[in-house]
Homo-oligomer: A and B are copies of this chain.
Amino acid sequence: MDESKEKSPQTSTESTVPRAVVSRLSLYLRELQQLVHEGNATTNSTQLGTLLGFTDAQVRKDLANFGQFGYPGIGYRCEELIAAIKKILGTDRSWPVAMVGLGNLGRALLRYRGFQEQGFQIAAAFDVDVEKIGSTVEGIEVFHLDQLAEVVTVKGIRLAIVAVPGAAAQTVADSLVAAGVEGVLNFAPVTLALPDHVSRVGVDLAIELEQLSFAVVNRPENP
């Protein structure tokens, strides 16, 4: 073998980590927070795996992508692992987020507490309805979409949530990109075209139900 045994210089996390692993990382974090809430100081790969439906090997392998966090013979100290995962996910800080679109979904999301609990703060909302511009919803100022670039810059916004009708989503996305936003969480039922340097996550509520109906219809007993 002529291969050097040198480790590659990428220390913590390059884009070599699959999305599925990152997704599970969030689940580990959520479960660890729950375990702490229940009074546990430590856990282990078997317990975490059982709670989430994964094998113990997978839990350890996933974490191994980012370093060594456990103690042989003991497991993982919950608070310590929580801090480590938050650092990896980037949620050891607070992110100001833009909300675009104040229809039913957008307004509901403005009121949702779960974002803030995990380090995301809606810093500004945008719409095109003049009735809404200038008002305040849940303590968040509503701006016209035209002010996007300005507000994004002033407030240091890097992430945005798109909750506009499908027909408007791509145009909004283009504006977000032009304003310098780096990541978009899209609730519109369309696939957004974004440049490579902008990250994209899509949630389509109807699609989630479709996954369910497929599972139900295709279960052995159910024709």
Does A206 lie at the interface of the complex (its beta carbon under 8 Å from any beta carbon of B)? Answer: yes
Which chain B residues border A130 with CB–CB below 8 Å? none
* B159 close to A210 (CB less than 8 A): no
Tell me which of B89, B184, B219 contacts A213 (CB under 8 A): B89
Which chain B residues border A219 with CB–CB below 8 Å? 13-15, 182, 197, 199
Does A205 lie at the interface of the complex (its beta carbon under 8 Å from any beta carbon of B)? Answer: yes
Which chain B residues border A220 with CB–CB below 8 Å? 5, 12-15
CA distance A5 to B219 in the complex (A): 13
Which chain B residues border A191 with CB–CB below 8 Å? 27, 30-31, 51-53
Known A27-B191, A191-B27; judge A115-B217 contact (CB<8 A): no
A98 to chain B, nearest CB (A): 12
Does A23 lie at the interface of the complex (its beta carbon under 8 Å from any beta carbon of B)? Answer: yes
Which chain B residues border A118 with CB–CB below 8 Å? 206, 209-210
Known A105-B112, A112-B104; judge A22-B214 contact (CB<8 A): yes
A221 to chain B, nearest CB (A): 8
* B206 close to A201 (CB less than 8 A): no
Which chain B residues border A95 with CB–CB below 8 Å? 209, 213
CA distance A107 to B117 in the complex (A): 21
Which chain B residues border A139 with CB–CB below 8 Å? none
Known A15-B218, A114-B189, A218-B15; judge A201-B212 contact (CB<8 A): yes
CA distance A109 to B163 in the complex (A): 13
Residues of A with Cβ closer than 8 Å to B? 5, 12-15, 17, 19, 22-23, 25-27, 29-31, 34, 51-53, 88-91, 95, 97, 104-105, 107-109, 111-112, 114-115, 117-120, 158-159, 161, 182-185, 189-191, 197, 199, 201, 203-222
CB pairs A–B below 8 angstroms (8 shown): A12-B220, A31-B191, A89-B213, A89-B214, A114-B189, A114-B205, A199-B212, A201-B209
